[in-house]
Structure 1
Amino acid sequence: MTIAENIARLRDEIAAACRRAGRDEREVALMAVSKVHPVEAILEAYAAGQRLFGENRVQEYEQKSGRLAGLPGAAFHLIGPLQSNKTNKAAELFDAIDAVDALKIAQRLETAAKALGKRLPVLIEVKLSHEESKHGVAPSELMGLLDAMRDFEAVEVVGLMTVPPWSEDAETARPYFRELRRLRDEAAKVHPKVVQLSMGMSNDFAVGIEEGSTCVRVGTAIFGKRVYPAAV
């Protein structure tokens, strides 16, 4: 199937999942995870109506960005872990940062975004899995991080994200998604702008939608298997 056909199929599946959950499909954004895929694939998705994209590495997107700048309505989010020495470039390149997991990173992004005169929405990544490969702030530290960021002028926390352990059985992700929603609901009592929930990928996005996700991140089901190394 073509990228356009894949996007159309996914939008139908998202709409069906929303109907089952009694939700309005307009509440759920589809993010095309374009990391390790060439610019041509991104442009093909854009031509098919896709506007929200996720990239995993600052350097990779920097190489792509020259050919993607100026696409009307397109937004590119950084969804991978961010090293402190890449914060300035990340603040410059991306429309949002979806994986803030430490106050030091948040502070550096605030400094960079203020210097750019830019409002930078961010999501806090919460680590709910015990896997060493997963990143994120511990649930017990979430409120402290949100409180510390309360007075930021350029960086604005708009929600939470998490990545559960991968499994062929999508149901195994449900407890993680449910817990993130609970954490969001608790946080929103004090920080009312914390409303978004980025959870659910190619194999479990329907469960994510059922548990309240506002953004599902899909790569393989749109672009196919990843290309190594990334072509730009």
Structure 2
Amino acid sequence: MTIAENLEQVLANVDRAISARDASKTWFDHTVTIVGVTKNQDVTAMRHALAAGVVILGENRVQEASQKFGTIGTDFSPSWHLIGHLQTNKVRQALSMFDLIHSVDSEKLTVEIDRIAGQMQKVQDVLLQINIANEATKYGLARDHVKPLVDLITRMDHVRLCGLMTIAPLYDNPEACRPIFRELYHTFMEIRSLNLSNVSLQWLSMGMTNDYGIAVEEGANLIRIGTGLFGARNPK
């Protein structure tokens, strides 16, 4: 199947998941946005995805993104999202490319983003990555560290919290992800109800190729699709 056909299939699956969603999950307008995960994808494949209708490119690594950023050009004017772990020594480079950083997971990183963004005279939009499943092999905030970091962001001038993100374990049965996504949704709604400064929660980023249907049913409006869009990834 082509990238365009894969995208059409993903959108059809999203529509079905929205239809199956509990009626109480009405916090947004039922639009689900796809982040095309372009890790290890070449520029040609990325351009095909953009031509098919993908508007957001999601990269896992700052260095790889920097090699593609100028090459893609402005023909499609994509938005660039960083969905992988960000090291503090890569913050300046990341802030020059990415419209949204999904993976903020520590006070140290947040402080550095605020500092560098201030020097660049910009406000950086971020999501907090939360390790709901408490997996030792994954990055992300522990649940009891979320509120203190949210409170810190309310006092910053150059960071704006726009939502939450999680990565669920790779279960054989995607249904096992449901409690994880449901918990992130409840955390999202709890923070959103507080109407805090520098906090404008609009993105709930959860769900990947293997589990995005469950994520959408549980309230996701930003899903990260790599294999489901581009096919099997070329290892590098």
Tell me, in whole angstroms, the C-alpha distance in 2 between the residues paired with 1:117 and 1:185: 30
Gaps of 5+ in 2: none
- Give yes or no for contact 2:34–2:56 (8 Å, CA) kept in 1: yes
Closer/same/farther in 2, CA of residues 58 and 88 from structure 1, 3 Å limit: same
Partner SS, residue 216 of structure 1: strand
* 3-state SS, counterpart of residue 193 of structure 1: strand
Alpha-carbon separation, structure 2, partners of 1:80 and 1:144: 22
2:175 to 154, 159, 171: 171
* Other structure's SS at 1:93 match: coil
**Residues 10-25 of structure 1 correspond to what in structure 2 (within 5 A)?**
10-21=10-21
What is residue 152 of structure 1 aligned with on the other side?
156
Check conservation: 1:15, 1:25, Cα contact below 8 A: no
TM-score by length of 1: 0.93
1:153, CA displacement in angstroms?
A: 1.9
Runs of 5+ consecutive residues of structure 1 not aligned to the other structure: none
Deviation at 1:131, TM superposition (A): 2.1
Instruction: Answer yes or no: is 1:92 the counterpart of 2:132.
Output: no
| Matched AA of 1:10 | V
Correspondence for 1:59: 63
Q: How much does 1:26 deviate?
A: 4.6
Matched, 1:141 2:148: no
* Identical positions, percent: 35
Measured on the aligned residues, the alpha-carbon RMSD in Å equals: 1.6
Q: Give the corresponding residue for 2:2.
A: 2
Query: Are residues 2 and 72 of structure 1, via their aligned partners in 2, closer, same or farther at CA, if it must alter by over 3 Å?
Result: closer
Question: Structure 2 length as normaliser, TM-score?
Answer: 0.92
> What is the one-letter code of the residue matched to 2:43?
V
Quote how far apart the aligned CAs of 1:25 are.
7.2
Question: Which moves more between the two structures, 62-71 or 91-100?
Answer: 62-71
Q: Where in structure 2 are the equivalents of 1:104-143 lying within 5 Å?
A: 104-143=108-147
Distance 2:57 2:149 in 1: 26
Distance 1:131 1:20 in 2: 29
Q: After superposition, what is the alpha-carbon deviation per residue over 1:34-56, rounded to whole angstroms, capped at 9, x for unaligned?
A: 11111111001001111012100
After TM superposition, give the deviation of residue 220 of structure 1 in Å. Answer: 0.2
Task: Give the whole-Å Cα distance in 1 for the aligned partners of 2:18 and 2:218.
Answer: 10
Q: Shift in Å at residue 7 of structure 1? A: 0.7
1:199 aligns with 2:192: no
SS at match of 2:103: strand
What's the counterpart of residue 72 of structure 2?
Answer: 68
Contact 1:14-1:25 within 8 A present in 2 as well: no
Alignment correspondent of 1:43: 47
Partner of 1:77: 81
Assess, with a 3 A threshold, how the Cα gap between structure 1 residues 70 and 117 changes in structure 2: closer, same or farther: farther
Q: In structure 2, how many angstroms separate the alpha carbons of the residues matched to 1:73 and 1:133?
A: 35
Aligned length: 229
Matched-pair contact (CA < 8 Å) for 1:18–1:25: no
Q: Which amino acid aligns with 1:186?
A: E
